[in-house]
Amino acid sequence: MTRINPTDLSFLLLERSNRPFHMAAFIIFQKPKGQHSTFGPRLFDAYRQSRPVKPFNYKLTWLGKNVAAWETVEPDMCYHLRHIAIPGPGSMQQFYETVSFLNTGLLDRGHPLWECYIIDGIENGRLAVMLKVHHALLDGESGLRVLRNFLSDSPRDKTLAAPWTAVAGADKPRRPPSRASQIQRVQAMLKGLAKLPGDLLGVGGDVLDLGVQSLNLKPRKAAVPFTARRTLFNNTAKSGARAYANMELPLADVKAVAKATGTSVNDVVMTAIDDALHHYLREHRAATDRPLVAFMPMSLRAESGEAGGNQVSAELIPMGQPDVDLRERLRQINRATSDAKAKGRGMQTTTRQAYVLLLAGCLAASDTLPWFDKVPSANVVISNMKGPSGQLYLAGAPAVAFHGLPILPPGAGLNVTFASVNTDICLAIGAAPEAVHEPYRLAQLIEAAFQQLQTDTGTTAHGSPSPVPAGVAGT
């Protein structure tokens, strides 16, 4: 058995019927010529006969109250896999409605915590592979890596690969460690133990630092918990229903704006999101007089890290003032994210991991404790991940779209997640209907904000065609 670390365990302990903690994403493929009726069944048969590797063969086992471990089992592929055909005409609206419905229910803890759906019958000869996996098994970065690793760079590769058989490094044989390497591992463990008191002091120091900032005794490097202005986006879900929308921004266009302004791709996309959120509030006569605060996870994973578990930190990022123009909004967000990165670099990894639990607890307080809903710590969750670059294929079928269905953590009614995939920034909106009933409208406002930012920075002529929202779904 493998003991579950505290971060992963928290996703299991905090899960409720109205607050599922699984991630979901889908890739849409253009079926190869001459295989419109056979590609889906062939893929389904191959997946049913496949054999999952870790962490997809991990089943939850409780060892005691609030103590759990992963037990290695042989998954029942008849349970984990489904082949669904959307009835004609197979429109994208029908597809998004299907995806939203499939993503509503909780994963069964009597099985390894994942499901896969092959969704056939999409218009224009397309098919989707949707993967639904618990956040305790994978974080966002490792989830993207899993989805990348089962795809091929070559259209000539006809392998019907599955995500659960392609976890990086998981199924490769390993040579027994030498005596020297065992000694080095023991030495590293001893060094880690020696650092532990300092790391705990570091957490205390960060808590003290938050207190000093809240008294305005020193400049703020981040927002302080329980000081965000409550907005419409803080309305949390009363059920498992979610509303979704997806869109793409051309990556070259976003990079052009970032280069022209001396900022980052992350800053540019955050600026468009922030501006759109304020417009959405004004349209619903719910404007705020303070900057919105984003709870932003940040990856700690090394490039060669394994796929399982969660290796992330997080920060509360104060975004732009409500009424500033887009260029000034971008400057303010760039300053806030730069300060957050500087703060993160000054913390030990153990400290950062404890710090994210502290911030997550502050976020959850407004969802679980009386009165705290009036003083939220953040208004929106924003995540940024690096996805695969280049055109990818599955058994000769080119991938034509990739999107996630963001989860809502405790205390949050809105999550906007974006990732670079091939030549686009793929942006996904997940919301409680009580917070954002019209996610498609929010996607339109993000598109409009980015186009205006291109105009303001003089980069329109260098870009690609205008971004177009990809779709919307709701339950």
Residue 181 falls within a domain, yes or no? no
Residue 168 falls within a domain, yes or no? no
**Which of residues 123, 138, 153 is at a domain's end?**
138
**Same structural domain, 263 and 122:** no
**Same structural domain, 122 and 225:** no
Residue 240 falls within a domain, yes or no? yes
Residue 175 falls within a domain, yes or no? no
**Same structural domain, 255 and 385:** yes
**Which of residues 138, 165, 186 is at a domain's end?**
138
- 58: containing domain: 2-138
**Same structural domain, 411 and 273:** yes
Give me the CATH number covering residue 30. 3.30.559.10
Residue 178 falls within a domain, yes or no? no
**Same structural domain, 307 and 440:** yes
Residue 327 falls within a domain, yes or no? yes
The pair phi, psi for residue 320, each rounded to 5°, is -80, 155
Residue 153 falls within a domain, yes or no? no
Place of tokens 């290796």: 311
* pTM of the predicted protein model: 0.73
Residue 159 falls within a domain, yes or no? no
Q: Which residues contact 181 (CB under 8 A, 6 or more apart)?
A: none
- Token pair for residue 367? 């969802």
**Same structural domain, 231 and 127:** no
Q: What is the pLDDT of residues 207-233, one digit of tens each?
A: 444 443 433 434 445 566 778 899 999
What pLDDT does residue 18 have? 82
Q: What is the pLDDT of residues 403-416, one digit of tens each?
A: 888 888 777 899 99
**Same structural domain, 41 and 130:** yes
**Same structural domain, 134 and 234:** no
**Same structural domain, 271 and 127:** no
Which of 335, 221, 234, 315 is closest to 277 using CA atoms?
234
Give me the CATH number covering residue 410. 3.30.559.30
**Catalytically annotated residue among 22, 80, 134, 135:** 135
Q: Where does the pLDDT of residue 388 fall: very low under 50, low under 70, confident under 90, or very high at 90 and above?
A: confident
Strand ranges across the sheet with 22-30: 81-85, 114-122, 126-134, 22-30, 397-405, 393-394
- Token pair for residue 229? 């202005």
Q: Is 189 a residue whose pLDDT tops 80? A: no
Q: CA-CA distance, 253 to 456, in Å (whole number)?
A: 13
Based on the residue annotation, tell me whether 135 is a catalytic residue of this protein: yes
Q: Is 200 a residue whose pLDDT tops 60? A: no
**Same structural domain, 12 and 100:** yes
In the chain, the number of structural domains is 2
Which of 186, 140, 196 is closest to 348 using CA atoms?
196
Q: Where does the pLDDT of residue 163 fall: very low under 50, low under 70, confident under 90, or very high at 90 and above?
A: very high
β-bridge pairing 393-394 and 397-405: antiparallel
